[in-house]
């Protein structure tokens, strides 16, 4: 009988093998230790690194800490406070849950742990080297936990030899740090490398956190994205197409505040940019998914950066639609204009520049009925007449030149001829429009059959009217006979207070108290009955941190008001209303998408119709 060849590995060897799955480089240690700090309910986390993490990785937090028994048990394999049985694997809301991190780290490094709970007089100090507990004793320390990892892979020289340079390893540490900092903007983070502060991020909202990490100018390059369904909620920001890069840069997906890598979702987002960015260009994105944990499996990879949804096609579709809506809403998608003449387009972004009126010198003594006036007064000789004629010709030339130079930065001039030609062009439909199913307007121009969504078309018309008025400083309010009272939470009232100046600009007059607001006046276009719905929608959007500057806030308000005031699908329109809506729509510079980025109309040419009838 031959000797048995299969043997149980010694514990220290098994621990080193297990460590190889969890601890691949210093950045892996950073991820595990910081996730433990987050799970400990810390709101301030400091990361100290030396030599890219090869010499030291220390994480200090102000979390709940551990007692003496928990501190010792935390270094045992498969010891965790976050799951009790297999069912808990499908309702995971924490970062670390396998009970492998500290055991794996302690197997390949020198580890020191200091921890104390809030109500304890003394904390616990533990020192471990290569899975062996060297010492454990009480210690005076601050509330929370401080854990230091020194000399990574000291007992596995082959693994240590394959670590990259300090610069490369530090780049990976930075990336892990930022992934967690971007996932938790409500927590303060600090990163120190070789004694130098790399990042010091105070508690903030999402947009402020992105600004603090990547610089204030990045907000100009981003557009908010938001979509909410019964299955999943999506929020965050995506990059504007013109700022797409040749290399992958700021691209972050988070599911339930956990960073993930997903080529599948990346493809969904990129497909929304089809036709907007060049080949081999990559947009930035910071996209956050909120979903019931039972719909997600995060236990398919040791680093937990790869997950699986139970309905991936649905997530793909929702993300793509949300991105397209965002690009359309902020006028980033290309628009289709039928036979538009650029010289007839008059954008609504009027400046406050005062138009210069032509000055004409008039002779008060001139009397066309006075006989021989030229001869008697000798004021209008032939030379004088020629000189005046030259002035009139010069004035005419200047007027024509001024009209030809109209652009978005100098458009405070009214030109009746341009408007007349514009409306004659827009009214050149070959057939009267008609309403179909009280939802669509149907007409045709040339060889194109147009089917227009009446609600979305009216939204865009109202939105542009309000933005035009805002740009001209010509908004008007209507005083309500019976002010509208709305009860809100204190944080909601604070949100509105911060935007009070913008509310006034768009036409609202609001009084604030501790738990209620009193709305005394609303924009002229708005009905009193819509006031509560408008404010509820404003609060919902403000809570998403979408507005980034004055223009964005005012656009948001105008979009919400337009949505509430627009004619509804199913509403019967008179023929005059149909004609006016179509004319108003196609007098705009861009007509393809509603303020929320939804398509307004489709067109079919003769060839397409023939093809469908073949």
User: How do residues 182-206 score in pLDDT, each as one tens digit?
Assistant: 999 999 999 999 999 999 999 999 9
The pLDDT assigned to 346 comes to 44
Would you call 508 exposed, middle or buried from its count of C-beta atoms within 10 A (0-12, 13-18, 19+)? buried
Residue 124, SS3? Answer: strand
Q: What is the mean pLDDT of the chain?
A: 78
Q: In this structure, how many other beta carbons lie within 10 angstroms of the beta carbon of residue 331? A: 16
* 222-232 pLDDT tens trace: 999 999 999 99
Residue 481, SS3? Answer: strand
* 440-486 pLDDT tens trace: 988 887 777 888 999 999 999 998 888 888 877 767 788 888 888 88
State the Cα torsion 113-114-116-121 to the nearest 10°.
Answer: 140
* 522-549 pLDDT tens trace: 888 777 788 888 888 888 777 765 555 6
* 147-175 pLDDT tens trace: 999 999 988 888 888 888 888 899 899 99
Quick one: pLDDT band at residue 342, thresholds 50, 70, 90?
A: very low
Quick one: pLDDT band at residue 120, thresholds 50, 70, 90?
A: very high
User: Which residues are registered as beta bridge partners of 201?
Assistant: 189
In the 8-state DSSP scheme, what is residue 185? Answer: T
* pLDDT at residue 395 tops 60: no
Would you call 198 exposed, middle or buried from its count of C-beta atoms within 10 A (0-12, 13-18, 19+)? middle
User: Which residues are registered as beta bridge partners of 288?
Assistant: 235, 254
Mean pLDDT for the stretch of residues 341-350? 43
Structural domains of the chain sorted by starting position, each given as residue range(s) with its CATH number in brackets: 11-201 (3.30.565.10), 206-329 (3.30.230.10), 352-407 (no CATH), 434-601 (3.30.1370.100)
Mean pLDDT for the stretch of residues 582-606? 82
More confident residue, 478 or 299: 478
* 5-34 pLDDT tens trace: 676 666 666 665 555 556 889 999 999 999
* pLDDT at residue 78 tops 80: no
């Amino acid at each position: 009988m031959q000797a048995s060849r299969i043997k149980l590995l010694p514990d220290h060897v098994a621990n080193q093998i297990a460590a190889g799955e969890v601890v691949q480089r210093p950045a892996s240690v950073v991820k595990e230790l910081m996730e433990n700090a987050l799970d400990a309910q810390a709101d301030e986390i400091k990361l100290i690194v030396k030599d890219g993490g090869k010499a030291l990785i220390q994480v200090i937090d102000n979390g709940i800490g551990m007692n003496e028994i928990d501190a010792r048990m935390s270094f045992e394999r498969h010891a965790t406070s976050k799951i009790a049985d297999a069912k808990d694997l499908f309702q995971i809301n924490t970062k670390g849950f396998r009970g492998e991190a500290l055991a794996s780290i302690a197997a390949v490094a020198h580890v020191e742990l200091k921890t104390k709970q809030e109500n304890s007089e003394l904390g616990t100090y533990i020192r471990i080297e290569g899975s062996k507990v060297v010492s454990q004793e009480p210690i005076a320390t601050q509330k929370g936990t401080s854990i230091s990892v020194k000399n990574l892979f000291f007992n596995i020289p082959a693994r240590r030899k394959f670590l990259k340079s300090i610069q490369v390893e530090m780049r990976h540490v930075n990336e892990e740090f930022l992934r967690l900092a971007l996932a938790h903007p409500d927590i303060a983070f600090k990163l120190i490398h070789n004694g130098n502060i790399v990042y010091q991020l105070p508690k903030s909202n999402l947009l402020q956190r992105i600004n603090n990490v990547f610089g204030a100018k990045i907000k100009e390059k981003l557009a908010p994205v938001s979509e909410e369904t019964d299955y999943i909620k999506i929020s965050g920001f995506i990059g504007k197409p013109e700022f797409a890069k040749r290399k992958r840069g700021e691209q972050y997906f988070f599911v339930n505040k956990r960073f993930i890598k997903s080529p599948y979702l990346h493809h969904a987002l990129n497909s929304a940019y089809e036709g907007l960015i060049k080949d081999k260009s990559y947009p930035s994105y910071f996209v956050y998914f909120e979903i019931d944990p039972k719909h997600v499996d995060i236990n398919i990879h040791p680093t937990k950066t790869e997950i699986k949804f139970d309905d991936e096609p649905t997530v793909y579709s929702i993300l793509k639609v949300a991105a397209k809506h965002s690009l359309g809403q902020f006028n980033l998608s290309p628009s289709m204009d039928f036979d538009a003449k650029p010289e007839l387009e008059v954008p609504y972004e009027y400046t406050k520049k005062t138009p210069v009126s032509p000055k004409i010198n008039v002779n008060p003594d001139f009397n066309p009925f006075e006989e021989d006036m030229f001869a008697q007064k000798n004021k209008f000789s032939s030379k004088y007449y020629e000189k005046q004629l030259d002035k009139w010709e010069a004035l005419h030339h200047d007027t024509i030149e001024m009209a030809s130079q109209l652009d978005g930065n100098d458009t405070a001039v009214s030109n009746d001829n341009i408007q007349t030609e514009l409306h004659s062009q827009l009214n050149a439909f070959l057939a009267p429009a008609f309403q179909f199913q009280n939802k669509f307007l149907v007409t045709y121009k040339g060889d194109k059959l147009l089917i227009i969504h009446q609600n979305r078309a009216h939204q865009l018309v109202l939105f542009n009217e309000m933005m035009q008025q805002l740009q001209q400083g010509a908004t008007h309010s209507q005083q309500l006979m019976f002010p509208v009272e709305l009860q809100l939470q204190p944080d909601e009232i604070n949100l509105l207070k911060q935007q009070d100046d913008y509310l006034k600009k768009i036409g609202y007059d609001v009084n604030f108290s501790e738990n209620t607001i009193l709305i005394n006046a609303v924009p002229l276009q708005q009905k009193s009955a819509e006031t509560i719905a408008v404010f509820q929608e404003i609060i919902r959007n403000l809570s998403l941190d979408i507005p980034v500057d004055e223009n964005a806030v005012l656009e948001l308000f105008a979009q919400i008001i337009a949505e509430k005031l627009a004619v509804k699908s199913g509403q019967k329109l008179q023929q005059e209303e149909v004609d006016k809506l179509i004319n108003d729509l196609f007098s705009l510079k861009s007509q393809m998408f509603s303020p929320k980025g939804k398509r307004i109309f489709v067109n079919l040419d003769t060839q397409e119709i023939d093809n469908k009838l073949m």
